[in-house]
């Protein structure tokens, strides 16, 4: 659990109760079914509704919009618990719904937009996704080809997106499109798209090497007409500014995911090496195993200190894009090293899909890609050091 010096003793006790309730929910409602969801390639829509009923979605959304108005720690606790239990495929889509989309509405949306979408998201009745990445534009958001042309009191949108988490299930899509193709980044706008809109269509659920329970799709827009009031905040050409404002939280929550998934990988490895016998003793009694695990635990502890510092900066409204990028870089690379190191201690069993460490390992790889690749994170940190 993240260290929080800003919460009162009472609030910390409430957070502990919240986390315990979530852990029990996972044991009863997720663990028995998760392997089936991995095979199906997505979690059922009903899971979002179940989590909404229990108060596990969008916990820091204000009460005026149906949320609990809790501190961000409650929202991050959901990512912590699910990541440590090895549900990365669910976490990938859940954090989009709970941690990425609500701030766009709260900070950039109109009151009507907040009132329309947030209560549905809190209840799990409307599942949210974000449409930025395109087949020819990944981390380079200025190279978007999806267009939105004003036509009276509507916009006509054409284009496509790819690798969209919650793509199969989403009811709301925060869509990045060019409203002025000649204006570069200043020509990007964001739209709140109701996915029942004619002209919207979904491609197949994409098959991935990991995070199988998370549905990931290509989305298409063919002469899709959305009302002008679907423009986020009613402001044209502000999409790039809005995205840059909200990216620090996105990268922070990926840091939460990475650090706690690393803890989960260590958890299952500690259990295995104490049970597994080789040459007349447990694997955990060999010096190589002990030194390896000591190194892993130390790396995690150091990473968590960085995560705690960034989280406290976020609570104060002082988390910089550069620090968030550095955290995302560090946590995702750390998880990759930890998962690989821990799998090695399982020997041949680590390569068997039935062992949880195998899922930690395959699920870890994409954290170095989504939310901005490690290479882009390094470039952003370097700019803060050297300028452009």
The residue annotated as part of the active site, out of 53, 250, 304, 322, is: 250
- For 233-254, the DSSP string reads GG-TT-HHHHHHHHHHHHHHHH
**How far, in Å, CA of 352 to CA of 235, rounded?**
51
Task: Report in angstroms the alpha-carbon separations of 200 from 40, 134, 170, 215, 343.
Answer: 24, 15, 12, 17, 42
Rounded to 10 degrees, the C-alpha dihedral 136/239/187/157 comes to 70
Q: Which of 128, 207, 131, 197 is nearest to 162 (CA)?
A: 131
The neighbour count for residue 8, using CB atoms within 10 Å, is 9
**How far, in Å, CA of 110 to CA of 29, rounded?**
36
The reply to whether 250 belongs to the active site is yes
Residues 56, 60, 64: CA angle, nearest 5 degrees: 105
- For 37-66, the DSSP string reads HHHHTS--HHHHHHHHHTT-SSTTS-GGGT
Surface-to-core class of residue 243, CB atoms within 10 Å of its CB (0-12 exposed, 13-18 middle, 19+ buried): buried
Tell me how far the alpha carbon of residue 300 is from its chain's centroid: 20
Phi-psi region of 371 (alpha: psi -120 to 50; beta: other; left: phi over 0): left
User: Catalytic site residues?
Assistant: 250
């Amino acid at each position: 659990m993240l260290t929080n010096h800003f919460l009162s003793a009472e609030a910390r006790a409430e957070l502990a109760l919240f986390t315990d309730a979530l852990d029990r929910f996972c044991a009863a409602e997720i663990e028995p079914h998760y392997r089936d969801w991995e095979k199906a390639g997505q979690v059922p829509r009903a899971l979002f509704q179940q989590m909404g009923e229990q108060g596990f979605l969008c916990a820091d959304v204000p009460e005026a919009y149906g949320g609990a108005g809790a501190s961000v720690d409650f929202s991050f606790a959901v990512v912590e618990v699910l990541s440590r239990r090895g549900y990365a495929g669910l976490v990938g889509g859940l954090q989009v719904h709970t941690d990425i989309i609500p701030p766009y509405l709260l900070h950039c949306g109109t009151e009507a937009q907040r009132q329309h979408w947030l209560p549905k998201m809190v209840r799990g009745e409307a599942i949210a996704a974000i449409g930025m990445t395109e087949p020819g534009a990944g981390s380079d958001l200025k190279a978007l080809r999806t267009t939105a042309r004003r036509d009276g009191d509507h916009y006509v949108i054409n284009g496509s997106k790819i690798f969209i988490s919650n793509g199969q299930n989403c009811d709301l899509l925060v869509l990045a499109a060019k409203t002025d193709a000649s204006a570069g980044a200043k020509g990007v706008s964001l739209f709140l798209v109701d996915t029942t809109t004619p002209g919207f269509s979904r491609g197949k659920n994409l098959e991935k090497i990991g995070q199988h329970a998370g549905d990931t799709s290509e989305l298409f827009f063919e002469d899709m007409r959305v009302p002008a009031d679907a423009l986020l905040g009613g402001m044209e050409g502000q999409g790039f500014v809005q995205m840059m404002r909200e990216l620090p939280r996105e990268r922070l929550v990926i840091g939460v995911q990475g650090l706690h998934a690393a803890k989960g990988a260590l958890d299952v490895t500690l259990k295995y090496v104490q049970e597994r016998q080789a040459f007349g003793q447990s694997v955990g009694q060999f010096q190589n195993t002990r030194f390896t695990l000591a190194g892993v635990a130390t790396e995690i502890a150091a990473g968590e200190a960085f995560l705690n510092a960034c989280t406290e900066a976020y609570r104060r409204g002082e988390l910089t894009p550069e620090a968030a990028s550095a955290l995302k870089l560090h946590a995702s690379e750390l998880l990759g090293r930890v998962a690989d190191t821990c799998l090695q201690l399982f020997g041949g069993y680590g390569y068997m899909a039935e062992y949880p460490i195998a899922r930690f390992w395959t699920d870890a790889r994409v954290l170095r890609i989504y939310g901005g690749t490690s290479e882009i994170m390094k470039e952003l940190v370097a700019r803060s050091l050297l300028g452009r």
